[in-house]
Every structure is written in C-alpha cells, then in structure tokens.
Amino acid sequence: MNTVLTAEMVGLDRIINTDPIAITFFIGYMAMFASAVFFFVERSSVEGKWKMSLLVSGLITGIAAVHYYYMRDFYLQTGESPTAFRYVDWTLTVPLMCVEFYLLTKPFGAKGGTLFKLIIASLVMLVTGYIGETSGIDNNVMWGIFSTIGYLYIVYEVFAGDVAKLAKQSDSPALGRAMFLLKIFITLGWSIYPIGYMVLPGNLLSGAFEVSSIDLFYNLADAINKIGFGLVIYYVAVTETARAKKNVAATV
Ligand SMILES: *C/C=C(C)/C=C/C=C(C)/C=C/C1=C(C)CCCC1(C)C
C-alpha cells in the first residue's frame, strides 16, 4: 500500500494556518530568491568594476535562499529552531558582506589585511554565538558577550578604522551616502540579532518573549540586512555607472 503524505504530516499546513514563524521562513525564502535573481540580472546594467559587487550581493541573497529553503523544511517538520543551518548560512554570508566593504573601498587603497581583520572578527562573532546558542542556560550569556566583542570590532572598523578612513578619501557623493546607510545597517540592523539571542533561556529577555520567537527576530533581521545591504550597493553601482558615462561624454 502506498502511504500518501498529507500537508499536515510534513507540517506544510502551518504556513497557511498562521504559524507566524513558518510564514516568515516562507516569505524569507521567496524574498531572498527574488533578490538574488534581481542582483544577478542587474549586473549587466552596471559598469565593469561594479559587476563584482553585484555578484557578491547576488551570492549573499542566493546562499540565504538555499538555507531558507532548508530551514523552512526543518522548522515545519520538527517545530524546532534550525540553529545549525542558520549558522552555516551566516558563516558564508557575513564574510561576503565584509567583502562588499572591501570592494567599495578598494579603489581608495583598501588592503587584503583589512578584509582579513573583518572576516576574523565575524568568525569570532559567529563561532562564539553558535557555542552560546547550543551551550544551554548557564553559559549563553557569557558566550553572547564574547560574540558581542567580535561584533563591536566590526562596528569600530566601519566607523573609525580602515574602512572609514578609506571611504573618506572618495569624492563620490553616492559612495558617501552608501557608507552612511551601511553604517546604519551595521549598528541598527545587525543589533536585531543579539536582541533575538537574548530570548534564549537564562538570557536577559527570556520571559519577555517566547524562546521560539528567536527565529522571528533572525528572519526579520536577515531580510532587512541581506536585501537592504544589497540594494545600497546596487544604488552606488547604478549612480557611479551613470556618473562614469557622463564623464566619458564630457571628454569626447
Ligand atoms: C546575513 C546575516 C547577518 C548579517 C548576520 C549577522 C549576525 C550577527 C550580527 C550576530 C550577532 C550576535 C551577537 C552580537 C551576540 C549574540 C550572538 C549573535 C551571533 C546572535
């Protein structure tokens, strides 16, 4: 006899039966996928050096789309938070966001060393965060603090370190505006993640929210940060492409 799987058996009914977390996994998947297609296709409309930046934006949202596909499934079938998938996703996409900063400031002399420092800081942030999420009630505050040190180092680099100094040398108003927006993403957008983390049992916000709401925080933050970040890069790429064309026209 054939066993027919029902929507209920695989948990799919929860998407339409208003499980808010299931819905955000579903929407997150579609939004990441659509963004990846958009950034890949738009590569053809920007000038040479910006193609790489849009490729990276497409990879960030594309890698996230694949992980959301699996995270959604995992959540629907187990009702649990897909922590491991989540951290694999971040471990790939956060360093790629560091690459975006590097590419933006490369024309003004960014060195591989700056990129290396940013990537090491993000790995410290994520590895300690993962240990914290899986270490249980007694230890997650301590690991959260270690993770926050990595995070604050990235904030420092972007506000006052190499990235900030190099970006200041640019005469492009578009790059100036983009750096301003990216700073907002790094400080406000990224701070949603540690707030989500604090709903873990034994942490500062446990009791104020249900533990399961951690995925609501993370899914919201991912949508804002991955797609928004990509759109800011897209904005600079398009504006700078138009400016370069105008300059060429002026010299002919
Ligand atoms: C696309 C994914 C992004 C931009 C993920 C960013 C993640 C963070 C900024 C996570 C930060 C954390 C802390 C600062 C402390 C608690 C543990 C983390 C890993 C949630």
| Ligand 1 mutation pick, 190, 218, 232, max ligand atoms within 8 A of CB | 190
For residue 1, name the pLDDT band (cuts at 50, 70, 90): low
CB 94 near ligand 1, within 6 Å: yes
The CATH number of domain 2-251, selected from 2.40.37.20, 3.30.1740.10, 3.90.1150.10, 1.20.1070.10: 1.20.1070.10
Give me the residue spans of the domains in the chain. 2-251
Does 13 have pLDDT greater than 80? Answer: no
At 185-242, the pLDDT tens digits run 999 999 999 999 999 999 999 989 999 999 999 999 999 999 999 999 999 999 999 9
Nearest protein Cα to ligand 1, atom 6: 190
Confidence at residue 11, expressed as pLDDT on a 0 to 100 scale: 74
Q: What is the mean pLDDT of residues 68-97?
A: 96
With a threshold of 0.85, does the pTM exceed it? yes
Provide the mean pLDDT of the chain. Answer: 93
At 117-146, the pLDDT tens digits run 999 999 999 999 999 999 989 999 999 999
Which letter, b or e, does each residue of 230-251 get, where b requires 16 or more Cβ atoms within 10 Å of its Cβ? bebbbebbbbbbeeeeeeeeee
Contact at 8 Å (CB) between 168 and 110? no
CB 87 near ligand 1, within 6 Å: no
Confidence at residue 17, expressed as pLDDT on a 0 to 100 scale: 67
At 14-45, the pLDDT tens digits run 766 678 999 999 999 999 999 999 999 999 99
| Residue 206 β-bridge partners | 209
Confidence at residue 168, expressed as pLDDT on a 0 to 100 scale: 87
For residue 169, name the pLDDT band (cuts at 50, 70, 90): confident
Spacing, Cα 9 to ligand 1 middle (Å): 33
